Amino acid sequence: MESIWLVYCAESAYGRVRAEVRKRDVRARIARVNSVEGAVQLGRACAAADVHVVFGCDSQAVATTVAGMAFVRQSLDGVEVLVIADGCDAPSIAHLLRTGATEVIATGASEDAQVRSEDSTTLEACMEPDEFPQRTGEIALVRDDMVPLEELWPPLDEPDDAEWPEDVSIMSPPVAELRDGAPAGGEEAASDLREVAARAGTRSVAHAATGTHRAPLVTVVSGRGGVGKTTLVAALAASSARAGLRAAVLDLDLMFGDLPAVLGAETRKGLEGLVAHERDDFIAECDVEATAMRVGPGLTLWGPLTEGEKAELFGTPIEQLIEVLRGAADVIYADTSNNWGDAAAVAIGACDRCLIVGGSGETSGSSAAAVVSLAARLGVPATRMTSVFNRIGARGCGEEEALRFEMGTSLRSRVRIADGGEDVRGMLSFGKLDALVAGNSAFAESVRTFAAQLLGELGCSVDKRLMAASPQGETRGTKFRLPWRKRSGGAR
């Protein structure tokens, strides 16, 4: 079998790395890439060959190399990873082996420390907590095992303010192209999604370390619209409220979100009021209360904005709102837009579970893979992601489409939600969400089952009896709207 070695290192170290590769295989075909993502792309294209990935590393770049190895091992099954470590001490070499290196060749100050790992480290081992926070170059990392946006990092042996040369051939689009219409200029507009997510994750970890009550955050994302993501958020939140929890819902599709309509909020309140009394970058409790929309017992909604053009200014306020709700709610659900800005990056970076939702379509697998990859680069390990195939059983959402989507995500945690058909759309249009999730339909059963499983995994104590369907004919106080805005209880 043909042997292909993909090398990611500084140009000055390439000669030494190439010599090491030739010692192992004189007929090896070697390709030097300019990014870790480039190595993964070539590795997938050369799947029929015997692929190896080589990292050049010095004592200042151990954390970046660990993150790159985690991304490679997550993306390429069974690949061998060789690290040429220049000037690294014994603890650093041991750390490289423990976090994914098949072999480490120590040169320079630690040349006598050459070691080899007999067995490749698994993805789960790479995801184990290590030390934090780390800082490499201009990018703040929460943990070594999290996968940052490698292709935008400076070369391993260049100073922090180095820029990529103009002839780089394999790179992702600049971060500015990933943002949803951010204006040029200004500190907020120039902020990096990775830095925003890392800061939110750091604050979340610090809050957890205090030992106080901390509501888990579930962030729901997708690669394209029309997959039922917003309906799923509303249904999960309603199921949590039925189970006796205080469920907070954030509509982070700040420009065009419609969760107030889906949840049946009578009065829409924009998040602009969240910064009405802001001081020293801290939001006031009175503003948190003023922007809340109480949908029903145990269910409260925040967002979106009424002036969508201000969306890019609300990354920090959303981060602070999440921290407030960590102590006030039992569980938090965040719906996001398809184009991620700072608000979405905050919710993704701080989340305890990230749900990747998909549905029908030929490109569902590829779009899901792109979402998983970007979420990983924003610091979410695969162990905190769940793929959710929505509307299983509907036209174009059969077993083949579900498998295509699940293969695209390549996640171990997988869920399928049954199609609700016209019942979902009809009941939501009349504001009868509680009756919908309390029913006996396949959709309601799958949502309640998933909600119970998810809340249990997140450590939320729920009364499972309340997660069951309501007895036939019982509405559990469901209300419908009359034209003159009064309410009447009971069945229609």
DSSP structure string for 2-31: -EEEEEE--GGGHHHHHHHHHHH-TT-EEE
Structure tokens at 83: 């690290």
Domains recognised in the chain with CATH numbers: 3-172 (3.40.50.2300), 193-489 (3.40.50.300)
Residue 204 pLDDT: 60
| Amino acid letter, 214 | R
Lowest mean pLDDT among 77-81, 237-241, 346-350, 462-466: 462-466
Top-ranked range on mean pLDDT: pick from 176-190, 426-440, 460-474: 426-440
In this predicted structure, the answer to whether residue 236 has a pLDDT above a threshold of 90 is yes
In this predicted structure, the answer to whether residue 419 has a pLDDT above a threshold of 80 is yes
**Residue carrying the six token digits 């100073």:** 159
Question: For residue 136, which phi and psi values (nearest 5 degrees)?
Answer: -130, 120
Taking the C-alpha atoms of residue 357 and residue 222, their distance in angstroms, rounded to an integer, is 5
In this predicted structure, the answer to whether residue 180 has a pLDDT above a threshold of 70 is no
Q: What is the pTM of this model?
A: 0.59
In this predicted structure, the answer to whether residue 113 has a pLDDT above a threshold of 70 is no
In this predicted structure, the answer to whether residue 356 has a pLDDT above a threshold of 90 is yes
Residue 443 pLDDT: 92
In this predicted structure, the answer to whether residue 121 has a pLDDT above a threshold of 70 is no
Angle at 126 between CA 123 and CA 129, to 5 degrees: 135
Instruction: Decide which of 321 and 114 is more confident.
Output: 321
Instruction: Decide which of 336 and 14 is more confident.
Output: 336
Top-ranked range on mean pLDDT: pick from 195-199, 207-211, 402-406: 402-406
The strand ranges marked E within 406-477 are 414-418
Residue 210 pLDDT: 55
In this predicted structure, the answer to whether residue 176 has a pLDDT above a threshold of 60 is no
Residue 132 pLDDT: 32
Structure tokens at 291: 């922007």
Lowest mean pLDDT among 103-112, 216-225, 340-349, 458-467: 103-112
In this predicted structure, the answer to whether residue 331 has a pLDDT above a threshold of 90 is yes
Lowest mean pLDDT among 6-15, 48-57, 64-73, 116-125: 116-125
Residue 116 pLDDT: 41
Please state whether 366 falls in left (phi above 0), alpha (psi between -120 and 50) or beta.
Answer: alpha
Residue 269 pLDDT: 92
Taking the C-alpha atoms of residue 315 and residue 292, their distance in angstroms, rounded to an integer, is 18
Burial of 476 (0-12, 13-18, 19+ CB in 10 A): exposed
The per-residue pLDDT for range 6-44, each reduced to its tens digit, is 999 888 788 888 888 888 777 888 888 888 888 888 888
Question: For residue 235, which phi and psi values (nearest 5 degrees)?
Answer: -70, -40
Taking the C-alpha atoms of residue 485 and residue 310, their distance in angstroms, rounded to an integer, is 31
Instruction: Decide which of 452 and 204 is more confident.
Output: 452
The pLDDT of 295-301, averaged and rounded, is 90
Mean of per-residue pLDDT scores for the chain = 76
